[in-house]
Amino acid sequence: MVTRKQSLRIGGGSACPGERIEPAIELIEKGEIDYIAFDSLSEPELSAFVKHKMSHPDEGYDTYTERRLRAILPLCAEHGVKVLGNMGGANPLAAHALALDTARRIGLQGTKVATVVGDDVLGLVKELNPEVEGSNKRALDFGDALIAAHAYIPADSMIAALAEGADLVIAGRVGDASLFLAPMMHEFGWADDDWDRMAMGIVVGHLMECAGQLSGGYYADPPYKVVPDLHKIGFPIAEVTDDADVLITKVDGSGGLVSRGTCAEQMLYEVHDPANYIGADVVTDLSDVDFKDVGPNRVAVTGTVKGKPKPDMLKVNLSVTEGVIAEGSLFYAGPGALERAKLAAEIIRKRLELVVDFKGQGLRFDLLGVNALYGPPESDATPVPWEVGLRVTARAAERDEAWKVMHELETIDNNGPAAIGRALRKEDVREVVAYFPTFVPRERVPTDFRIEDA
């Protein structure tokens, strides 16, 4: 008879590639955790990895991984903590090789590294040519601009890898929350149709996947919302029982805050219909959840979480090259700064339209400090700013076309309004890899894993 754990403590180690490392170290050393999961991916992050892989075919994963693994693997070995993460990005097997190499170089021979594959579905998408959500296109309508397709795959292969003794599980585009569900499924032996418990696992994963956003980050708004010691914010810990009771906390003495308020905000983060939070593993009904402060920085998940069967279709992230974006800013200060910034905008607009024949798909002028972020309510009289930035952005199909915008920004100082401070360079033209969602049938997306000892 298999002896199973009755409770688990899982740490949330990162919210993005390049995340701070010391909060994860604190979790491993002082958090009494069994697992730590690192989220490196979002829609734009995956696009960034795809973009990077175009020019660096051996990369396209979270390149901060080496530094992170060097710091944490010895501590994980010492404290018996297992690691999961989607740091594989758009190239999980390259991250796999890097992890093995890193473990060997720091003397951790024998570390079992498992990497999940199957999320790359470009071939399948080209075969099925599915409709692209929110557009009137099908996938093949993008032609050669469609450069990658990644399915949000379920936790299954991560669970299987843990069952084979993996110390480190690397994935690419698995659902962020699935990184946290996998150890619960593995340790508690929940049935793969135990929808209610799995849904609670997804609630935990969803809360934890942005790490510091659950423990006081992205929260402080004094005087209404005050968070202590953000300079040493501690990342969150979920304590879960085999019956899916959940407590959220953090390491004693760390900065930040775990409260009903931080949990409530994070639960709705990037959620649409809370009764149908769709993931690859289960459809979760979050609409009747609540939280209760049960101690300082200790919050119980209360209310009811219901699960519904996993969907037949998996969501796919299509990466599509879409020209370039040019961006630059100019700054004016002193009396009349706002008028001069507006005049500069007018000159640049006229130059682009009437003189240099700019053919773009978008041209935007923002007055920084005035109206760049929605602007104040109409009831507020616009104050006269002492300093104003003029931010100019444009989309164009070709780099040469976008360069016209940069050239106007570079030549306005001698030829435009008085008293300008600033200057931006041509490198501010960046390639766009846009994101589009579509769906493919689950049964056409087999997943697997490779496991090797360092």
Partner 1 sequence: MRIAPLREICQARSGDKGNIANIGLIVYDKRHYEHVKRIVTSERVKEFFGDAVKGRVERYELPRLGALNFVLHEALDGGATRSLTLDPFGKVVSSILLAMEIEMPAGD
Distance CA 205, CA 270 (A): 13
Judged by beta carbon, residue 81 or residue 210, the one nearer partner 1 is 210
Of the pair 239, 285, the CB lying nearest partner 1 is at 285
CB of 308 to partner 1, least distance (A): 16
Tell me the closest approach of the beta carbon of residue 265 to partner 1, in angstroms. 4
**Least distance in angstroms from the C-beta of 311 to partner 1:** 16
Q: Are 201 and 240 in contact (CB under 8 A)?
A: yes
Of 161 and 326, CB closest to partner 1: 326
CB of 114 to partner 1, least distance (A): 29
If the CB atoms of residues 391 and 426 are measured against partner 1, the closer one turns out to be 391
Strands 429-441 and 448-453: unpaired
Least distance from partner 1 to the Cβ atom of residue 152, Å: 12
Q: Which is nearer to partner 1, 106 or 278 (CB)?
A: 278
- Residues 328, 409 contacting (CB under 8 angstroms): yes
Closest separation between CB of residue 363 and partner 1, Å?
8
By beta-carbon proximity to partner 1, the closer residue of 4 and 359 is 359
Nearer to partner 1, 266 or 447 (CB): 266
CB of 410 to partner 1, least distance (A): 19
Closest CB to partner 1 among residues 301, 445:
301
Q: How far is the CB of 219 from partner 1 (least distance, A)?
A: 8
Burial 300-321 (b: 16+ CB within 10 A, else e): bbeeebbbbebbebbbbbbbbb
- HSE-up of 66 (CA within 13 Å, CB side)? 10
Q: Residue numbers of the site for partner 1 (CB under 8 A)?
A: 42-44, 47, 134, 218-219, 221, 224-225, 261, 264-275, 286-291, 303, 322, 325, 327, 362, 364, 366, 368, 372-374, 377, 379, 391, 393-395, 432-437
Residue 297 or 447 with smaller CB distance to partner 1: 297
Nearer to partner 1, 235 or 449 (CB): 235
At its nearest, how many Å lie between partner 1 and the CB of residue 449?
A: 28
Write down the least CB distance from residue 445 to partner 1, Å. 21
Tokens, residue 41: 């991916």
Q: How far is the CB of 26 from partner 1 (least distance, A)?
A: 24
Extract the tokens encoding 275.
């009764």
What does the buried/exposed string (b/e) look like for 151-180 if buried means 16 or more CB atoms within 10 Å of the residue's CB? bbbbbbbbbbbbeeebbbbbbbbbbbbbbb
Residues near 273 by beta carbon (within 8 Å), at least 6 away in sequence: none
Nearest-approach distance from CB 261 to partner 1, in angstroms: 6
Measured CA to CA, the distance from residue 304 to residue 195 in angstroms comes to: 13
**For residues 169 and 394, which CB has a smaller minimum distance to partner 1 in the complex?**
394
* CA nearest neighbour of 419 among 314, 312, 315, 344: 344
